[in-house]
Chain A
Amino acid sequence: MRSVIDIPDLSLDELKELIDVAMDIIANPQKYAEACHGKKLATLFFEPSTRTRMSFEAAMYELGGNVISVTGAGTSSAAKGESMADTAKTVSCYADIIAVRHPKEGSAYVMAQNATIPVINGGDGGHSHPTQTLADLLTIYREKGRFEGLTIGLCGDLKFGRTVHSLIQAMSRYNGNKFVLISPEELKVPSYVKKDVLQQRGIPYEQTTDLEGAMPQLDILYMTRVQRERFFNEEDYLRLKDSYILNMEKLKNAKPDLAILHPLPRVNEISVAVDNDPRACYFKQVLNGKYMRMALILKLLKEAQNEH
């Protein structure tokens, strides 16, 4: 059964297909209003989430389908010690497709291995969050009209930020892109991402701690939050959490058509004043996430139907 656990699970052709479907959904929402009539999405969220769960649920409702859900490990059989494998087999009896979020890395893979219906990874700890990357890609496409020849700045927590690793992986598959990695020393992109993705594919990149210095060359600035839940040590979190705060002053040398993205939630790393700047795209990104989840649900349900 086809599932999507990580961005490389989707080929470039499939990404294009998802973008095309999402664009068609935006243009003709009525055409899709009953596309998933009679189908059920199970949202299994074992970790706090607002936008990802709501986005999946809104996506399914807008496709004319229904949603059944579990939120929080404490309210599910996981609290009684049920394994991921058993949960996957059980939920497969109730629903047609699963969206899962779980704090443990690799959890979505285990669920996909045991489910008899498609599984979409809605975030497995610090490992992967492919539908956020789909939201990022549609935003880049709608703002820039292309995926090639862009200088992409990634700023903040580049070590634990799973969306950062996925976006690097996704955008390095297109020609002519360059990355500027902006972070404190302690939160630099892990060496395996640089080695296995950037260096292996010969993608140009630079590392810096200076956001303002990097600003003039950027076409896209992807801001991230320093995530408390990824630290074992509270002291380290407090020391690093305010490393980069984007405000209007820091944007003064930015390109007029810069696109500022952020996977949200924001704490204080983007000043509220920036929200009114036309270059701020992070709330458009939220909406784009819903469209891409709609496109992905449609694709996986169609493929599952063809398998039967």
Chain B
Amino acid sequence: MNIDSIHNGIVIDHITAGKGMKLYELLGLDKLDCSVAIIKNVHSGKLGKKDIIKIDADIPVDVDVIGFVDPGATVNIIKDEKLSEKRNIEMPNRLVNVIKCKNPRCITSTEQELDHIFKLTDRANNVYRCLYCETKAN
């Protein structure tokens, strides 16, 4: 399977197989006009299988979202078809308006103007909890 290389843009590599679509949705890549490729189940020496996302435009990418979904992923910035920068991904301590609290009893379910904020409560197990009701993020 061939996907053209990109001239100027972003490659999100080493995504845990199966998490590519979630990243695509949470990063809002569906709203872009440029070419975006999600390649699933690519053979990987390190991971066995991985997903890759290629974005054919130099757009700002929310690394907090990537850190939340898959802190093992890497972000490569491509300029003139060459790797110009490799960004390290870390789990963010806070996530603001990335995901919504699903607890129907949470105050965010009725107070529409509130930001949906989650805080990292267990780094070892990648657990985020709602700042307001402490419900675990799925």
Q: Which residues of A contact B132 (CB under 8 A)?
A: 105-107, 109-110
B122 A106 Cβ-Cβ under 8 A: no
The verdict on B133 contacting chain A, using a C-beta distance below 8 Å, is yes
Known: A104-B110, A110-B111, A110-B114. A125 touches B131 (CB 8 A): no
Whole-angstrom distance between the alpha carbons of A126 and B135 in the complex? 11
Cα-based distance from A105 to B108 in the complex (angstroms): 9
Q: Is the CB of B131 within 8 A of A106?
A: yes
Q: How far is the CA of A83 from the CA of B110 in the complex (A)?
A: 9
Is A84 within 8 A of B133, CB to CB? no
Q: How many residues of A contact B (CB 8 A)?
A: 17
In the complex formed, the residue of A with least CB distance to B136 is A192
A127 touches B136 (CB 8 A): no
| B113 on the A face (CB < 8 A) | yes
Expressed in whole angstroms, the Cα–Cα distance for A30 and B126 within the complex equals 53
* Interface residues of B, dominant DSSP: loop
Produce 1/0 per residue, A88-111, CB < 8 A to B.
000000000000001111110110
Contact with B along A201-245 (1 / 0, CB 8 A): 000000000000000000000000000000000000000000000
Minimum Cβ distance to chain B for residue A122 (Å): 15
* Bound CA span A124–B103, Å: 13
Contacts A125-B105, A126-B105, A196-B122 known; A106 to B133 CB distance under 8 Å? yes
Chain A residues near B121: list those with CB within 8 A: 196
Q: Mask for B101-133, Cβ within 8 A of A = 1, else 0?
A: 001011111110110000001100000001111
Determine if A106 and B108 form an interchain contact, defined as CB atoms under 8 angstroms apart.
Answer: yes
- Rounded to whole Å, the gap between the CB of A155 and the closest CB of chain B is 24
Does A85 sit within 8 A of B, measured CB to CB? yes
Q: Are B113 and A104 in contact (CB under 8 A)?
A: no
Across the interface, A104 reaches (CB within 8 A) one of B109, B134, B136, namely B109
Which residues A38-82 have CB closer than 8 A to chain B? none
SS of A interface (majority): mixed
In the complex, number of A-B residue pairs with CB atoms less than 8 Å apart: 49
B107 and A107 contact, CB distance less than 8 A: yes
| A110 contacts B122, C-beta separation under 8 Å | no
Question: Which of B109, B113, B136 sits near A83, CB closer than 8 Å?
Answer: B113
What B residues does A124 contact at CB under 8 A? 107
* Residues of the B chain whose Cβ atoms lie less than 8 Å from the Cβ of A85: 111, 113
- Whether A110 contacts B136 in the complex (CB less than 8 A), given A83-B113, A85-B113, A196-B122, comes out as no
Of A107, A109, A196, the residue contacting B131 (CB under 8 A) is A109
On chain A, the residues within 8 Å of B135 by CB distance are 105
Interface flags for B92-104 (1: CB within 8 Å of A; 0: not) read 0000000000010
Shortest Cβ distance from residue B56 to the other chain A in the assembled complex, whole angstroms: 41
- Asked if A105 and B111 make an inter-chain contact with CB atoms under 8 angstroms apart, the answer reads no
Pair A104/B131 contact, Cβ less than 8 Å: no
- A192: nearest residue on chain B (CB-CB)? B136
**C-alpha gap A62/B85 in the complex (Å):** 66
The answer to whether A84 touches B134, judged by C-beta atoms less than 8 angstroms apart, is no
CB neighbours of A83 from chain B (8 A): 111, 113
Whether A104 lies near B122 (C-beta < 8 A) is no
Known: A106-B132, A196-B122. 6 other contacts (CB 8 A): A84-B107, A85-B111, A105-B103, A106-B106, A110-B114, A127-B134
Q: Which residues of A contact B (CB under 8 A)?
A: 83-85, 102-107, 109-110, 124-127, 192, 196
Using a CB–CB cutoff of 8 Å, the interface residues on chain B facing chain A are 103, 105-111, 113-114, 121-122, 130-136
